[in-house]
Amino acid sequence: MVQKTKISAEDGQQDLVITREFDLPLEYLFKAYAEPEIVEQWMGTKVLKLESKKHGGWQFETKDAKGNVVFKANGVIHEFSPGRKITRTFEMENTPFGVQLEVYEFEQLTEDSSKLTMHVIYESAAQRDQMLQLPFAQGINMAHNRLQDIVSKLK
């Protein structure tokens, strides 16, 4: 199977590039990043704030079944060019990962397909590598939370 999402992370660098091609017109791909109620659906998090404009701020929060906050992130939008580019900062609260700079570039491929290039710059190479290893723990936590949801409904 062809891998639709590709990641390139060079030796000792403090950045990485994620690329993905979508079977979606450019307009719809961009919309999925610009509108809070759509971001909520695919990111699986609550969007407390998303001001899609230059100098706008954003804030995401995810809670478990008991109402404990398990993920909280925020940042500022530096560039918002519809159908073309979003530049923003990303900070996961209460973690040692620092602030990331994220540059999203949107491209039309055909009438019905588009491409996203996501360039993420970390404060250091070490922070990037730590972040790369994080989904291990996240995956486990998410599975655990889901289990908790199911169990609490059984009671």
Partner 1 sequence: MNLRRDVFQAIADPTRRAILMLVASHSMTAGAIASNFDTARPTVSKHLQILTECELLGQKQNGREIYYHINAKKMKEVADFIEPFRQMWDERFNKLEAIMKNYKSKK
**By CB under 8 A, what part of segment 82-101 binds partner 1?**
none
Give the phi and the psi of residue 10 in degrees, each rounded to 5.
Answer: -80, 155
Residue 17 host element (H or E): strand 15-22
Looking at residues 111 to 130 of the shown chain, list those that interact with partner 1 (rule: CB under 8 A).
Answer: 116, 129
| C-alpha closest to that of 128 among 47, 33, 39, 7 | 7
Q: Which is nearer to partner 1, 22 or 97 (CB)?
A: 22
For position 135 contacting partner 1 by CB under 8 A, the verdict is: yes
- In this chain, which of 22, 46, 56, 121 binds partner 1, going by CB under 8 A? 22
Q: Phi and psi (nearest 5°) for 75?
A: 180, -175
Contact 62, 46 (CB under 8 A): yes
Out of 134, 147, 150, 151, the only residue in the binding site for partner 1 (CB under 8 A) is 134
Task: List residues near partner 1 by CB under 8 A.
Answer: 3-7, 9-12, 18, 20, 22-25, 28-29, 31-32, 38, 41-44, 116, 129, 132-136, 138-139
